[in-house]
């Protein structure tokens, strides 16, 4: 099951209370905190006179450059400072500033009392010049992406891409009848949620298992019902997960690989059918997460894609759906298409190629 929600592009109108409840921050508060947004506003409030306040997502902010900080009047300092007091005021020695990638620009604002009796000049960090962060690989004073300079990033990308392409193009020689693609639809995304349907198809595209499942405890799942369309009424007479467990376990045990788009939640659910750490670990070793493989591919091929859902994978790879998205059988079939496109020789042996 995939439930990646697309973000809405246009900011929505909220009351101040609603914005606060969602943990959103307005522009003025960000400025006071020396932060700036890295993405557009997600919401706005409207005052009676029609004035708008824009709100931003707290995860999409970064530190603003010091020249944009609101200058507080510098506090009066009497005598030399202890390290703790200096830290609280945001005053640092030139050496410490260098470690933080700042450079003093003016006169010292105070002095630090050291144990040896020396007086070290202190500078107000908010008045210092921000130095460019260096590349963590070569030390060049530039960061392009992932803490690397452009040259190091491109070199790293080319190496990752070559290794990834080689791995994907390899001949794995798996028996297509024993490669199983599965999808579970659930009452929700948490560990305590329950399975509502199981679909398994093999590498030839044959449906090997396809059933609705009646949850044992949970009676309603309004939120996910809208996604997968499975209603309580539909599963009323369906078998329980344990009713189908023996057949499902026999099927999964015969598989060489179990592939799903996002395996973490599904693995947790299947573990309920596998008592004991040893059996669960054997199950885990056979699992391949198609979503993780797609993310590798995207990152190695520098495809600009902010969401990596199954629908995104289908679209990016130019594949088309055979059924409605978010139904277990269609999701398992789509997962198979995505995986086989990424690994074109998964069932082939080199000597026959």
CA distance 343 to 142: 36
Among 20, 36, 94, 140, binds Zn ion (CB under 5 A): 140
Q: Give the binding range for Zn ion (CB under 5 A) out of 35-43, 58-66, 139-147, 254-262.
A: 139-147
Question: The tokens 């990638």 sit on which residue?
Answer: 101
In the chain, what is the straight-line distance between the N-terminal and C-terminal CA atoms, in Å? 35
Closest CB to Zn ion among 36 and 140?
140
CA distance 228 to 213: 13
Write down how long the chain is.
353
Residue 172: count of CB within 10 angstroms of its CB: 15
CA distance 326 to 343: 23
Among 16, 113, 137, 214, binds Zn ion (CB under 5 A): 137
Q: Give the binding range for Zn ion (CB under 5 A) out of 88-96, 115-123, 137-145, 224-232.
A: 137-145
User: Of 29, 106, 103, 34, nearest to 69 (Cα)?
Assistant: 34
Task: Check residue 249 for interaction with Zn ion (CB under 5 A).
Answer: no
Among 86, 135, 244, 260, binds Zn ion (CB under 5 A): 135
Q: Give the binding range for Zn ion (CB under 5 A) out of 75-83, 146-154, 283-291, 306-314.
A: 146-154
CA distance 157 to 163: 10
**H or E element at residue 195:** strand 195-202
Among 35, 120, 152, 212, binds Zn ion (CB under 5 A): 152
Q: Give the binding range for Zn ion (CB under 5 A) out of 148-156, 232-240, 297-305, 339-347.
A: 148-156
Among 138, 206, 264, 303, binds Zn ion (CB under 5 A): 138
Per CB under 5 A, residues contacting Zn ion are 135, 137-138, 140, 149, 152
């Amino acid at each position: 099951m995939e439930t990646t929600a697309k973000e809405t592009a246009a900011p929505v109108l909220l009351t101040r209370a609603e914005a606060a409840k969602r943990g959103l921050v307005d522009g003025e508060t960000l400025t006071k905190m020396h932060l700036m947004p890295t993405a557009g506003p997600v919401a706005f409030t409207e005052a009676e006179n029609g004035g708008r306040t824009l709100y931003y997502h707290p995860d999409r902010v970064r530190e603003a450059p010091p020249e944009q900080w609101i200058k507080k009047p510098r506090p009066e300092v009497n005598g030399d400072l202890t390290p703790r007091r200096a830290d609280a005021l945001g005053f640092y020695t030139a050496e410490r500033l260098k470690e933080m990638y700042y450079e003093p620009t003016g006169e010292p604002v105070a002095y630090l009392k050291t144990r040896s009796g020396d007086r070290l000049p202190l500078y107000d960090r908010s008045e210092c010049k921000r130095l460019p962060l260096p590349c963590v690989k070569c030390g060049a004073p530039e960061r392009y992406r992932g803490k690397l300079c452009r040259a190091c990033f491109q070199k790293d990308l080319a190496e990752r891409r070559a290794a990834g392409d080689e791995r994907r193009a390899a001949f794995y020689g798996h028996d297509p009848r024993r490669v199983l693609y599965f999808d579970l639809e659930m009452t929700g995304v948490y560990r305590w949620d329950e399975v509502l349907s199981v679909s398994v198809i093999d590498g030839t595209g044959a449906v090997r298992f396809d059933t609705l499942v009646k949850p044992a405890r949970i009676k309603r799942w309004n939120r996910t019902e809208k996604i997968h369309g499975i209603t309580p009424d539909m599963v009323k007479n369906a078998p329980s997960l344990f009713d189908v467990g023996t057949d499902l376990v026999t099927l999964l045990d015969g598989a060489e690989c179990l592939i799903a788009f996002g395996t973490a939640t599904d693995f947790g659910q299947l573990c309920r059918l596998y008592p004991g750490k040893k059996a669960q670990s054997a199950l885990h070793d056979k699992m391949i997460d198609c979503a993780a493989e797609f993310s590798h591919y995207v990152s190695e091929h520098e495809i600009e894609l902010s969401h990596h859902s199954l629908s995104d994978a289908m679209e990016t790879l130019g594949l088309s759906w055979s059924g409605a998205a978010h139904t277990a059988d269609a999701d398992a079939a789509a997962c198979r298409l995505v995986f086989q496109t990424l690994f074109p020789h998964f069932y082939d042996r080199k000597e026959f190629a």
